[in-house]
Amino acid sequence: LSMIQKLSTFNNRYYKSPTGVESAKFIYEKWKSLTSMRNDAKIEYFNHSSWNQPSVILTIQGATPETVVLGGHQDSISGYFGGSSARAPGADDNASGIATITEVIRVLMQNDYRPTKTIKFMAYAAEEVGLLGSKEIATDYKKRSEPVIGVMQLDMTNFKGNDEFDIVMMTDYTNNEQNKFVGKLADTYLGTLKWGYDRCGYGCSDHASWHNQGYPASIPFEATMSDMNHNIHTNRDTLDVSNNTASHAAKFAKLALSFVIELDR
């Protein structure tokens, strides 16, 4: 909850704004503080040449190079074209995803989890203007033949659109077998939680960047497309739309935690 609140206080997290850079630094410092006692942890910026906001990557190095990626975009936008001065709190889109990832990091560190495989947590820059940050990262990983065995994207996790589904798996620009695996994780670890399938209809988030490079990717989403939070990309994307709680996002944190641990086996 506090992570969503803090990220929402920046005027915006637009990829070309000063506050977009400041918010990236905040995420960097938060993740650094959570892993400060671990010598297997490395946090770094992935700098982009065409804009100032960096992506943030936290690596928990395992004994093998096989890599699991848990990511979400850090930037926010208001209006179709946005801008450096527009108010864009982005509480759901996508402070909620970054907060969910942060909670996974916190739980793993609190339990002194030592992975066998390598785990990378990513906060992508410039998603709202064409998945630009994740495109550069995924392209770079493919060029270097990085052995990424699974990617989960967390983009909008805190608005419960209806009572039919708690979590919705998007089937386009994703890996069918991995989606089934994530569904089994939900059935196994999240009890009576209800989940289903839907389609974005386009490459709606950073999972598409990884999918397009041939990596298995999934995006568990907060609701069906018709019932999602329609306050996004406006100054109304605030925490009060989700009743000032992070209870829906907590379900995604549990799912993402199970994804990381089960792929690490």
* Ramachandran sector of residue 207 (left: φ over 0; alpha: ψ -120 to 50; beta: rest): alpha
Q: Which of 75, 128, 166, 264 is catalytic?
A: 128
Long-range CB pairs of 135-141 (<8 Å, 24+ gap) are 135/209, 136/46, 136/48, 136/55, 137/46, 137/55, 137/57, 137/209, 138/209, 138/210, 138/212, 138/213, 138/215, 139/209, 139/213, 141/213, 141/215
One-letter amino acid at 213 equals Q
Q: Tell me whether residue 22 is one of the annotated catalytic residues.
A: no
In the residue annotation, 93 being an active-site residue is answered as yes
Catalytic residue among 73, 207, 211, 248: 73
State yes or no: is 248 an active-site residue.
no
Among the listed residues 75, 93, 136, 237, the single catalytic one is 93
CA neighbours within 13 Å on the CB side: how many for 62?
21
Catalytic residue among 166, 233, 237, 264, which? Answer: 233
Identify the active-site residue in 127, 166, 198, 206. 127
Please state, in angstroms and rounded to a whole number, the distance separating the CA atoms of residues 83 and 103. 30
Residue position matching structure tokens 């848990």: 70
> 155 catalytic, yes or no?
yes
Is the distance from CB of 149 to CB of 117 less than 8 angstroms? yes
- List the catalytic residue out of 92, 103, 155, 166: 155
The residues, ordered by sequence, that sit 6+ positions from 71 with a Cβ below 8 Å of its Cβ are 101, 120, 121, 122, 123, 124, 134, 151, 152, 153, 154, 206
| Beta strand segments in the chain, E | 41-46, 55-60, 67-73, 118-124, 148-153, 167-170, 195-198, 217-218, 220-221
245 residue type, one letter? T
Is 128 tagged catalytic?
yes
Q: What residues act catalytically?
A: 73, 93, 127-128, 155, 233
